[in-house]
Amino acid sequence: MPSAEAMSNIAVLERFHSATNSGEMDLVAKAVDDLTAPDLVFHAPVPMGATGAEALKRVWEALLRAFPDLHVTIEETVAEGDRVVSRNTVTGTHLGEYRGLPPTGKPVSYGEIFIFRFEDGRIAEIRGVVDVLTQLRQVGALPS
């Protein structure tokens, strides 16, 4: 059974996912402000020209602009000490510009794994691996 600290960290992560699944950028931005450390270290899978919480917000702005119905389903969570690992399936419909590609109306479904490190009950560091190759193939940016 996970420790009280691990359970608390999982609850924070679930609150964050709830905000991202709302599709409302205002709620996502508020969750970033409320649930991440002021000096968040965010290792983005794509360069965003920003760091920390601002980079995280920019990633979500780009994703929600491109996939307004984006939904992250948590498939598996492992927590120990100050770390939570989340394996997710992301789904959505390509309805806005993404990486220079105009909207295609095509659905996407791809996997990702993120490691979150917590300090004082807030997300302090995020590292992730996102299956961008599958995502880009599904919107037609790359051959299958």
DSSP category for residue 28:
H
Beta bridge partners of 79: 84
Average pLDDT on 47-72 reads 90
Q: Output the pTM of the full model.
A: 0.92
pLDDT class of 40 with cuts at 50, 70, 90:
very high
How confident is the model at residue 1, as a pLDDT?
73
pLDDT tier for residue 45 given thresholds of 50, 70 and 90: low
Catalogue the E-assigned strands of 81-121.
83-93, 107-119
Confidence at residue 9, expressed as pLDDT on a 0 to 100 scale: 96
Q: Spell out the CATH class of 4-138.
A: alpha beta
Q: Which residues contact 138 (CB under 8 A, 6 or more apart)?
A: 94, 106, 107, 108, 109, 110
Sorted by where each begins, the domain ranges of the chain are: 4-138
